[in-house]
Amino acid sequence: MRRLNPIPSGALACALVLGVMAGPALAGARPPAKPVSAEFYSGKWYEIARTPNSGQRDCEAASTQFTSTGANGFKVVQICRKGSATGEAKTFNTTGAIVAATPRNAKFSMSFLGGLKKQEYWVLDRADDQSWAIMATPGGNYVWLLSRKAVMSPAARDAALARVRALGYAKLEFPAQPGA
Protein backbone atom coordinates (compact mmCIF):
# COMPACT_ATOMS: atom_id res chain seq x y z
CA MET A 1 0.00 0.00 0.00
CA ARG A 2 1.37 3.40 -0.93
CA ARG A 3 0.97 6.37 1.35
CA LEU A 4 0.34 9.92 0.28
CA ASN A 5 2.63 12.51 1.79
CA PRO A 6 0.51 15.62 2.26
CA ILE A 7 3.30 18.18 1.91
CA PRO A 8 6.48 16.77 0.45
CA SER A 9 9.13 19.39 -0.19
CA GLY A 10 12.54 19.82 1.22
CA ALA A 11 15.15 21.25 -1.02
CA LEU A 12 12.53 22.67 -3.27
CA ALA A 13 9.13 23.87 -2.13
CA CYS A 14 7.88 24.12 -5.69
CA ALA A 15 7.44 20.36 -5.37
CA LEU A 16 4.58 21.20 -3.03
CA VAL A 17 3.12 23.74 -5.37
CA LEU A 18 3.27 21.33 -8.29
CA GLY A 19 1.62 18.58 -6.26
CA VAL A 20 4.03 15.76 -5.44
CA MET A 21 1.93 12.78 -4.49
CA ALA A 22 3.05 9.30 -3.51
CA GLY A 23 6.70 8.38 -3.12
CA PRO A 24 8.40 5.14 -2.23
CA ALA A 25 6.64 3.61 0.77
CA LEU A 26 9.35 3.26 3.38
CA ALA A 27 8.61 2.37 6.98
CA GLY A 28 9.70 5.86 7.98
CA ALA A 29 12.89 7.79 8.26
CA ARG A 30 15.33 6.79 10.96
CA PRO A 31 15.71 9.37 13.71
CA PRO A 32 18.44 11.97 13.15
CA ALA A 33 21.93 10.63 13.85
CA LYS A 34 23.77 13.80 14.89
CA PRO A 35 22.86 17.10 16.48
CA VAL A 36 23.12 20.22 14.36
CA SER A 37 23.88 23.77 15.43
CA ALA A 38 21.38 26.56 14.94
CA GLU A 39 23.86 28.02 12.42
CA PHE A 40 23.20 24.96 10.28
CA TYR A 41 19.96 26.70 9.23
CA SER A 42 21.71 29.64 7.61
CA GLY A 43 23.46 29.90 4.29
CA LYS A 44 23.02 28.21 0.95
CA TRP A 45 22.54 24.50 0.26
CA TYR A 46 22.69 22.88 -3.19
CA GLU A 47 20.66 19.80 -4.06
CA ILE A 48 22.97 16.96 -5.13
CA ALA A 49 20.52 14.02 -5.13
CA ARG A 50 16.86 13.46 -4.34
CA THR A 51 14.12 10.89 -4.39
CA PRO A 52 12.37 11.25 -7.75
CA ASN A 53 9.07 13.10 -7.43
CA SER A 54 6.66 14.62 -9.90
CA GLY A 55 6.87 18.09 -8.38
CA GLN A 56 10.56 18.39 -9.19
CA ARG A 57 10.37 16.93 -12.69
CA ASP A 58 12.58 18.97 -15.04
CA CYS A 59 14.03 20.82 -12.02
CA GLU A 60 17.77 21.45 -12.22
CA ALA A 61 20.21 23.48 -10.12
CA ALA A 62 17.90 23.40 -7.10
CA SER A 63 19.14 25.40 -4.13
CA THR A 64 17.85 26.55 -0.75
CA GLN A 65 18.96 29.68 1.09
CA PHE A 66 18.28 29.74 4.83
CA THR A 67 18.43 33.11 6.65
CA SER A 68 18.09 33.19 10.44
CA THR A 69 15.34 35.34 11.91
CA GLY A 70 16.35 34.60 15.51
CA ALA A 71 14.60 32.50 18.14
CA ASN A 72 15.08 29.28 16.11
CA GLY A 73 13.26 30.67 13.08
CA PHE A 74 14.46 31.23 9.53
CA LYS A 75 13.37 32.48 6.13
CA VAL A 76 13.74 30.15 3.16
CA VAL A 77 14.25 31.01 -0.49
CA GLN A 78 14.21 28.00 -2.77
CA ILE A 79 15.16 28.12 -6.44
CA CYS A 80 14.63 25.59 -9.20
CA ARG A 81 15.85 26.08 -12.76
CA LYS A 82 13.68 24.55 -15.45
CA GLY A 83 15.27 22.15 -17.90
CA SER A 84 18.94 22.96 -17.28
CA ALA A 85 21.29 24.43 -14.70
CA THR A 86 20.97 27.78 -16.50
CA GLY A 87 17.24 27.57 -17.27
CA GLU A 88 14.53 29.95 -16.11
CA ALA A 89 14.49 30.27 -12.32
CA LYS A 90 11.37 29.55 -10.32
CA THR A 91 11.59 30.98 -6.81
CA PHE A 92 9.58 30.05 -3.74
CA ASN A 93 9.71 31.95 -0.42
CA THR A 94 8.61 30.48 2.89
CA THR A 95 9.49 30.34 6.58
CA GLY A 96 10.64 27.63 8.93
CA ALA A 97 11.64 26.89 12.50
CA ILE A 98 13.68 24.38 14.43
CA VAL A 99 11.30 22.03 16.27
CA ALA A 100 11.64 23.11 19.90
CA ALA A 101 10.94 19.68 21.42
CA THR A 102 14.13 18.23 19.95
CA PRO A 103 17.32 19.36 21.67
CA ARG A 104 19.48 18.09 18.81
CA ASN A 105 18.15 20.84 16.45
CA ALA A 106 17.91 18.12 13.78
CA LYS A 107 14.19 18.49 13.15
CA PHE A 108 12.60 21.51 11.57
CA SER A 109 9.31 22.51 10.03
CA MET A 110 8.43 24.77 7.15
CA SER A 111 5.16 26.58 6.49
CA PHE A 112 3.50 26.70 3.10
CA LEU A 113 0.53 28.43 1.53
CA GLY A 114 0.65 31.34 3.94
CA GLY A 115 0.93 29.06 6.97
CA LEU A 116 -2.03 26.85 6.06
CA LYS A 117 0.21 23.80 5.75
CA LYS A 118 3.30 22.75 7.66
CA GLN A 119 5.73 19.96 6.95
CA GLU A 120 8.38 18.58 9.27
CA TYR A 121 11.80 17.56 7.98
CA TRP A 122 14.62 15.69 9.66
CA VAL A 123 18.35 16.10 9.18
CA LEU A 124 19.09 12.37 9.18
CA ASP A 125 22.85 12.75 9.00
CA ARG A 126 25.51 15.28 8.11
CA ALA A 127 29.23 15.62 7.55
CA ASP A 128 31.19 16.45 10.68
CA ASP A 129 32.10 19.80 9.12
CA GLN A 130 28.45 20.33 8.05
CA SER A 131 29.49 20.50 4.37
CA TRP A 132 26.71 18.09 3.38
CA ALA A 133 23.47 16.90 4.92
CA ILE A 134 20.83 14.26 4.34
CA MET A 135 17.31 15.60 4.90
CA ALA A 136 14.08 13.63 4.68
CA THR A 137 10.43 13.69 5.53
CA PRO A 138 9.68 11.72 8.73
CA GLY A 139 7.52 9.23 6.84
CA GLY A 140 10.53 8.19 4.81
CA ASN A 141 8.98 9.01 1.44
CA TYR A 142 11.40 11.70 0.34
CA VAL A 143 15.11 12.33 0.83
CA TRP A 144 17.53 15.01 -0.34
CA LEU A 145 21.32 15.08 -0.27
CA LEU A 146 22.35 18.71 0.10
CA SER A 147 25.81 20.27 -0.04
CA ARG A 148 27.27 23.66 0.78
CA LYS A 149 29.02 23.50 -2.61
CA ALA A 150 27.30 23.06 -5.97
CA VAL A 151 29.83 20.36 -6.84
CA MET A 152 31.08 17.97 -4.17
CA SER A 153 34.46 16.27 -4.35
CA PRO A 154 34.09 12.71 -5.69
CA ALA A 155 35.19 11.22 -2.33
CA ALA A 156 32.73 13.31 -0.30
CA ARG A 157 29.92 12.64 -2.79
CA ASP A 158 30.56 8.89 -2.74
CA ALA A 159 30.63 8.81 1.07
CA ALA A 160 27.43 10.86 1.38
CA LEU A 161 25.61 8.74 -1.23
CA ALA A 162 26.72 5.55 0.53
CA ARG A 163 25.15 6.94 3.71
CA VAL A 164 21.92 7.85 1.86
CA ARG A 165 21.70 4.30 0.53
CA ALA A 166 22.52 2.82 3.96
CA LEU A 167 19.51 4.74 5.28
CA GLY A 168 17.36 2.80 2.79
CA TYR A 169 17.03 5.21 -0.12
CA ALA A 170 18.11 3.41 -3.29
CA LYS A 171 16.21 5.20 -6.05
CA LEU A 172 17.78 8.62 -6.55
CA GLU A 173 18.08 11.21 -9.28
CA PHE A 174 20.88 13.73 -9.66
CA PRO A 175 19.86 17.20 -10.78
CA ALA A 176 22.47 19.22 -12.69
CA GLN A 177 24.22 22.02 -10.83
CA PRO A 178 26.19 24.92 -12.32
CA GLY A 179 29.80 23.94 -12.85
CA ALA A 180 29.05 20.20 -12.73
The DSSP code for 173 is: B
Q: What is the pLDDT of residues 75-87, one digit of tens each?
A: 999 999 999 999 9
Let me know if residue 176 belongs to a domain: no
Which pLDDT score, from 0 to 100, does residue 180 have? 59
For 110, counting Cβ atoms within 10 Å of its Cβ (0-12 exposed, 13-18 middle, 19+ buried), the class is buried
Q: Cα 96 to the chain's mean position, in Å?
A: 13
Let me know if residue 5 belongs to a domain: no
Domain that holds residue 114: 14-166
Let me know if residue 56 belongs to a domain: yes
The total domain count for the chain is: 1
Q: What is the pLDDT of residues 127-160, one digit of tens each?
A: 999 999 999 999 889 999 999 999 999 999 999 9
Q: What is the pTM of this model?
A: 0.82
Beta bridge partners of 76: 66, 94
Per-residue confidence band for 72, with pLDDT thresholds at 50, 70 and 90: confident
Let me know if residue 41 belongs to a domain: yes
Looking at residue 166, its amino acid is: A
Are 144 and 49 in contact by the 8 Å Cβ rule? The answer is yes
Judged against a pLDDT cut of 70, whether residue 24 lies above it is answered with no
Taking the CA atoms of the chain, what radius of gyration do you get in angstroms?
A: 15
**Closest residue by Cα to residue 36 from 146, 170, 169, 155:** 146
Let me know if residue 1 belongs to a domain: no
Are 138 and 122 in contact by the 8 Å Cβ rule? The answer is yes
Let me know if residue 7 belongs to a domain: no
Q: What is the pLDDT of residues 49-70, one digit of tens each?
A: 999 887 788 899 999 999 999 8
43: CATH: 2.40.128.20
